[in-house]
């Protein structure tokens, strides 16, 4: 195995005794052999139960959010963002829910933020906690904004689009939490080969990718099927199956943000195809990216809050 003091090079036909096409680490068999994945945090369970209750009201969601001062502050801060152009005073979670963000957006923001708290992973590595949350909050915001411009027949609810964006890379948290040495090795390869598709690197190093790992968690936690499909297929531009609009939306957001230096991105050059599939105009997409980037101060603050 390459030491930390040695620059990692792309695998040639044979390097360090390993044939191309053969993974350095066989994570797949170990993941599939797990008796159970980490349990969903209690607060996330409460929010998930509330989300499945058709009779739930805003005050019940507010009551749960207010149990967590950090989450409550984040909801209020997000609602105050110029991104939503609300001219009134926002001094409570209730106002943020009922007058600015809406029940579903706050529900899914809270679910995504609390669900990911189970994991303890290194912070200052390419796929670490800080970059995970920075990428997540930007992708969630852009995915929600883009979703409003998708054709009526396939338009996803903005709240679910937000949750899919927030959790689409959760497989990296699972990997870093359960298999830290392997996760750190993967990060060395990602650092050495920043322009290479991360899926190719993961299969080469691990024999499994973060989409597959994250989807296993989503299914174990009974997350919405739409979100599970976004997690599983957001690096697969050929996927056209059930709930395909969700992974396509995340792929588009990832690609647009990668062009701005945010996240590891995927399939650069596929944005035009994805825009056509989703029925979104190029100028609309560019305008929305600029709008999200203009709110960088609020999004950066949210990312820091979630990763702390």
Q: What Å distances lie between residue 190 and 51, 129, 166, 202, CA to CA?
A: 37, 15, 21, 9
Residue 247 pLDDT: 97
Q: Give pLDDT tens digits for 78-137.
A: 999 888 888 889 999 999 999 999 999 999 999 999 999 889 899 989 999 999 999 999
**Residue 4 falls within a domain, yes or no?**
no
Contact 136, 74 (CB under 8 A): no
Instruction: Give the residue numbers spanning the domain of 204.
Output: 23-35+122-308
Residue 22 pLDDT: 53
Within this chain, do residues 97 and 132 fall inside the same structural domain, yes or no? no
The DSSP output letter for 148 is T
User: Does the pLDDT at position 9 exceed 50?
Assistant: no
More confident residue, 13 or 71: 71
User: Does the pLDDT at position 13 exceed 50?
Assistant: no
Question: Per the structure, how many domains does the chain have?
Answer: 2
CATH (domain of 151):
1.10.3210.10
Write the DSSP assignment of 226-290 as a string of letters.
HHHHHHHHTT-TT--STTTHHHHHHHHHHHHHHTTT-S----TT-HHHHHHHHT--HHHHHHHHH
Nearest CA to 16 out of 24, 28, 26, 7 is that of 24
Nearest CA to 230 out of 216, 217, 243, 240 is that of 243
Q: Give pLDDT tens digits for 20-52.
A: 445 678 888 888 778 778 899 999 999 999 999
Q: Give pLDDT tens digits for 232-280.
A: 999 998 999 999 999 999 999 999 999 899 987 455 567 889 999 999 9
Q: What is the pTM of this model?
A: 0.89
Residue 81 pLDDT: 87
**Residue 91 falls within a domain, yes or no?**
yes
Contacts for 163 with CB less than 8 Å, ≥ 6 apart: 108, 109, 111, 112, 140, 224, 227
Tell which of 118, 137, 163 closes a domain. Answer: 118
Within this chain, do residues 207 and 252 fall inside the same structural domain, yes or no? yes
Rounded to whole angstroms, the Cα distance separating 119 from 244 reads 28
Within this chain, do residues 303 and 237 fall inside the same structural domain, yes or no? yes
Rounded to whole angstroms, the Cα distance separating 107 from 159 reads 8
Residue 19 pLDDT: 41
Rounded to whole angstroms, the Cα distance separating 223 from 242 reads 15
Q: Give pLDDT tens digits for 171-223.
A: 999 999 999 999 999 999 999 998 888 999 999 999 999 999 999 999 999 99
Residue 268 pLDDT: 59
Rounded to whole angstroms, the Cα distance separating 123 from 53 reads 36
Contact 158, 219 (CB under 8 A): no
% the chain with pLDDT above 70? 91
Rounded to whole angstroms, the Cα distance separating 198 from 131 reads 15
Phi/psi of residue 132, each to 5°? -55, -50
Helix-strand-coil split of the chain, %, nearest 5: 60, 0, 35
For residue 83, give both structure tokens: 């991104």
Rounded to whole angstroms, the Cα distance separating 198 from 235 reads 9
- Categorize the per-residue pLDDT at 17 as very low, low, confident or very high, splitting at 50, 70 and 90: very low
Within this chain, do residues 214 and 78 fall inside the same structural domain, yes or no? no
Count of other CB atoms within 10 angstroms of residue 127: 25
Residue 18 pLDDT: 35
Tell which of 118, 139, 167 closes a domain. Answer: 118
């Amino acid at each position: 195995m390459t030491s930390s003091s040695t620059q990692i090079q792309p695998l040639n036909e044979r390097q360090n005794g390993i044939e191309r096409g053969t993974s350095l680490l066989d994570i797949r068999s170990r993941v599939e052999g797990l008796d159970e994945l980490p349990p969903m945090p209690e607060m996330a369970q409460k929010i998930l139960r509330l989300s499945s209750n058709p009779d739930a009201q805003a005050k019940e969601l507010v009551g749960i959010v207010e149990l967590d001062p950090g989450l409550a502050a984040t909801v209020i801060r997000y609602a105050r963002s110029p991104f939503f152009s609300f001219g009134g005073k926002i001094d409570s979670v209730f106002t943020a829910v009922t007058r600015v963000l809406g029940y579903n957006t706050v529900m899914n923001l809270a679910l995504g933020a609390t669900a990911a708290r189970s994991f303890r992973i290194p912070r200052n590595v390419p796929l670490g906690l800080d970059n995970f949350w920075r990428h997540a909050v930007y992708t969630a915001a852009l995915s929600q904004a883009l979703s409003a411009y998708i054709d009526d027949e396939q338009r996803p609810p903005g709240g679910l689009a937000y949750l899919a964006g927030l959790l689409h890379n959760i497989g990296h948290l699972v990997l870093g939490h359960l298999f830290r040495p392997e996760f750190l090795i993967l990060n060395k390869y990602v650092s050495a080969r920043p322009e290479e598709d991360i899926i190719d690197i993961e299969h080469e190093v691990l024999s499994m990718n973060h989409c597959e790992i994250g989807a296993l968690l989503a299914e174990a936690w009974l997350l919405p099927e739409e979100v599970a499909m976004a997690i599983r297929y957001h690096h697969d531009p050929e996927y056209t199956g059930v709930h395909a609009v969700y992974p396509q939306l995340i792929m588009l957001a990832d690609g647009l943000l990668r062009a701005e230096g945010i996240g590891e991105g995927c399939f650069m050059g596929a944005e035009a195809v994805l825009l056509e599939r989703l029925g979104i105009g190029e100028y609309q997409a560019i305008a929305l990216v600029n709008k999200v980037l203009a709110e960088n101060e609020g999004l950066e603050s949210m990312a820091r809050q979630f990763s702390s």
